[in-house]
């Protein structure tokens, strides 16, 4: 085994490594302060809080965090009973202020202290009367260095969180749209102050190599103490079928360069992760020097997910992606689960239908989703929050920053195998391609595509795309010959879709469309068949979203004296939809070189009017 350090990408030193026994040392824990609980609160509809210095003033209301203005009943009672989507009970768009008095303990003295907000909207932070900074990250944790401002003693933390749509110019994306998860304001997930030594591990990334049966480790050090060297220990644990095995540790003194590159050989202890078996590993890196101690633990899996010709392969075995679209539809909370158990429940339902792949439409789920997918063997494709024309360099830079943060936060997870630039991007392709090219240089682990169904399929894969997602391929012009799914609206295709206009047949496939594309081709949002609502489900909507739209439809049916036929309408339309979905999936499966499909959907999709 060898350890190599790199400083500024130029200086290389090789060290032999000392193997230790399997006994695991006690891990140093970083000091944290849990910020959950009651916070002072105020809406700022007039946007005067900064001018009036609300960050040094007690706020008039109280709210529990983590939580949102919707879940805590803040904002304005919604008077809109739109039939276009589910309806929020409370609505608010704009700035909202959150303030809390805290006591910083002596243990935080001379430490690097960060405020960590796992998920929120555009935010600004003050400590006492000092402005700390702002962040626009939507899909990964926002982290503020507050070391300069938090000495031991009494302080106040003030957050200004703004969910104004003008601050997120990405189109009607599912990370914040009322069509699906709602445009909430607040804080969800992990919410803490964390103190680390001035010399500490800032980042830890794992690059599996199943051919060499080892992992390559990239460890980033922040050396605020100016140390020449630290003692480094690497600990590896494997979990499989509920059983843990501690592997051999590695210990060595290393120079405190900004980036360390290390190799750890698993040898016979390597077990491959895929959709059938999920042995999971955790690497813990521990640094120490005198009284200095710090550690960081990250997950990883030994797997290789590749584009093999026109199909995908997991560890060299061809796999067909039986996928579904996920639009972040969680009507009880209005936001995705922030715990692994919540996602395990959702994913197990999907797996029971044969799903092995998820595409997250113009959003990225929290880390809990990747943790759950790691355990269940699902292949995930998050996307950047973009839908439209990328005509702005400023927006492109924001999206790239979002992407880099996503990769740093989630790419160690073996379930993250694919990455998309957004949904149905209609222009600005040179900017999109630049983002994808840069990301591939930064992190080669996932496969990349420059968008899902760009220009509704009339644009082929870009040079930098490893795979292609589309409802048609841009060849032979607008004919059903180019389609990669059986149904199209006539507004999207002059001949409509194959199933709309032709007799059902077991001979239908997508061979021509697939033949035109050199990379793996996935059918985009296959299905979209409507089912008449079951009005008995209205009572299940007890959370932040209510089915007032369904109540309107129910009243319309009642006025026609046909409400007693509701169950029959639901059953008949459901049986029809099931036949159509069956035809869609069979056509894809009989297409010899097709790489997969992404259904819309296994669950209700409440957005865009009648797409129930």
| Arithmetic mean of pLDDT, 137-146 | 98
In Å, what is the CA distance from 165 to each residue of 84, 138, 343, 482? 19, 12, 28, 36
Asked if pLDDT for residue 479 goes beyond 90, the answer is no
Residues in CB range of 334: below 8 A, 6 or more apart: 68, 70, 71, 88, 181, 182, 184, 543, 544, 545
- Map residue 375 onto helix, strand or coil: helix
Q: Which residue has the higher pLDDT, 162 or 601?
A: 162
| Arithmetic mean of pLDDT, 571-575 | 96
- Map residue 498 onto helix, strand or coil: helix
| Long-range contacts at 350-353 (CB < 8 A, ≥ 24 apart) | 350/324, 350/378, 350/602, 351/376, 351/378, 353/602
pLDDT score at 11: 31
pLDDT score at 500: 85
Q: What is the pLDDT of residues 1-38, one digit of tens each?
A: 334 333 333 333 333 343 333 444 466 779 999 999 99
Q: What is the rounded average pLDDT for all residues in the chain?
A: 93
Q: What is the pTM of this model?
A: 0.95
DSSP 188-208: EEEEEEEEE-SEEEEEEEEEE
| Arithmetic mean of pLDDT, 196-211 | 98
Q: What is the pLDDT of residues 104-138, one digit of tens each?
A: 999 999 999 999 999 999 999 999 999 999 999 99
Q: What is the pLDDT of residues 228-243, one digit of tens each?
A: 999 999 999 999 999 9
Running DSSP on this structure, what letter comes out for residue 27?
P
CA distance 178 to 78: 12
pLDDT score at 223: 97
Tallying the residues shown for the chain, one arrives at 612
The CA-based diameter of the chain, rounded to the nearest angstrom, is 83
In Å, what is the CA distance from 503 to each residue of 100, 161, 183, 498, 523? 65, 54, 43, 8, 21
The percent of residues above 70 in pLDDT, for the chain, comes to 95
The dotted CATH code for 308-600 is 3.20.20.80
Running DSSP on this structure, what letter comes out for residue 603?
S
Task: Return the CATH fold of 35-196.
Answer: Jelly Rolls (2.60.120)
pLDDT score at 23: 42
pLDDT score at 1: 38
CA distance 557 to 544: 26
CATH superfamily of this structure's domain 2-28+198-300: Immunoglobulins (2.60.40.10)
Phi, psi torsion values for 112, nearest 5 degrees: -90, 115
Q: Where are the domains of the chain?
A: 2-28+198-300, 35-196, 308-600
Q: What is the pLDDT of residues 341-378, one digit of tens each?
A: 999 999 999 999 999 999 999 999 999 999 999 999 99
């Amino acid at each position: 085994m060898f350890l190599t350090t790199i400083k500024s990408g130029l200086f290389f030193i090789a060290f032999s490594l000392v193997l230790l026994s399997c006994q695991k040392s006690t891990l140093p824990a970083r000091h944290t302060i849990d910020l959950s609980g009651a916070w002072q609160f105020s809406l700022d509809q007039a946007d005067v809080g900064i001018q009036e210095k609300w960050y040094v003033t007690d706020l008039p209301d109280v709210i529990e965090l983590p939580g949102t203005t919707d879940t805590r009943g803040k904002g304005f009672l919604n008077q809109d009973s739109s039939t276009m989507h589910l309806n929020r009970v409370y609505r608010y768009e704009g700035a909202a202020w959150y303030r809390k008095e805290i006591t910083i303990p002596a243990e935080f003295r001379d430490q690097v202290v960060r405020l960590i907000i796992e998920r929120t909207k555009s935010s600004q932070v003050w400590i006492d009367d000092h402005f700390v900074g702002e962040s626009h990250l939507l899909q990964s944790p926002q982290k503020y260095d507050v070391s300069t401002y938090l000495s031991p003693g009494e302080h106040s933390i003030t957050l200004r969180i703004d969910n104004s749509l003008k601050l997120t110019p990405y189109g009607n994306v599912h990370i914040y749209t009322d069509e699906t998860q709602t445009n909430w304001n607040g804080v969800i997930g992990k919410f803490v102050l964390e103190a680390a030594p001035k010399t500490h591990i800032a980042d830890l990334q794992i690059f599996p190599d199943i051919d060499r049966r080892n992992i390559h480790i990239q460890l980033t050090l922040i050396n605020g103490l100016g140390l020449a060297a630290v003692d480094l220990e690497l600990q590896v644990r494997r979990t499989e079928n509920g059983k843990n095995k501690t592997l051999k540790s590695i210990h060595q003194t290393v120079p405190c360069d900004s980036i360390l590159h290390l190799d750890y050989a698993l040898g016979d202890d390597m077990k491959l992760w895929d959709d059938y078996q999920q042995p999971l590993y955790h690497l813990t890196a521990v640094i120490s020097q005198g009284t200095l101690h710090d550690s960081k633990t990250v997950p990883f899996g030994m797997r290789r997910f590749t584009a093999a010709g026109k199909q995908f392969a997991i560890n060299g075995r061809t796999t067909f992606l039986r996928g579904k679209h996920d639009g972040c539809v969680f009507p009880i909370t209005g936001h995705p689960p922030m715990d692994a158990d919540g996602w395990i429940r959702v994913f197990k339902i999907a797996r029971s239908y044969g799903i092995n792949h998820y595409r997250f439409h113009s959003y990225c789920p929290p880390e809990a989703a990747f943790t759950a997918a790691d355990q269940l063997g699902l292949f995930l494709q998050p996307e950047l929050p973009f839908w439209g024309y990328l005509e702005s360099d400023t927006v492109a830079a924001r999206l790239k920053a979002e992407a880099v943060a996503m990769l740093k936060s989630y790419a160690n997870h073996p379930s993250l195998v694919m990455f998309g630039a957004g949904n149905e991007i209609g222009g600005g392709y040179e900017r999109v391609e630049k983002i994808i090219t840069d990301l591939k240089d930064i992190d080669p682990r996932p496969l990349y595509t420059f968008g899902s169904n760009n220009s509704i399929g009339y644009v082929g894969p870009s040079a930098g795309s490893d795979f292609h997602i589309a409802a048609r391929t841009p060849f032979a012009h607008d004919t059903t010959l180019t389609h990669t799914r059986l149904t199209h609206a006539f507004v999207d295709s002059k001949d409509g879709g194959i199933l709309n206009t032709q007799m059902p047949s077991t001979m239908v496939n997508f061979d021509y469309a697939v033949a035109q594309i050199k990379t793996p081709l996935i059918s985009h949002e296959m299905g979209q068949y409507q089912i008449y609502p079951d009005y008995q489900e209205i009572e299940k909507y007890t959370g932040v979203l209510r089915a007032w739209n369904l109540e309107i439809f129910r009243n319309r049916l009642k006025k026609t004296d046909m409400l007693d036929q509701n169950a029959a309408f639901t059953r008949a339309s459901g049986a029809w939809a099931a036949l159509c979905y069956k035809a869609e999936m069979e056509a894809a499966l009989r297409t010899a070189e097709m790489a997969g499909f992404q259904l819309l959907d296994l669950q209700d999709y409440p957005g865009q009017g009648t797409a129930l």
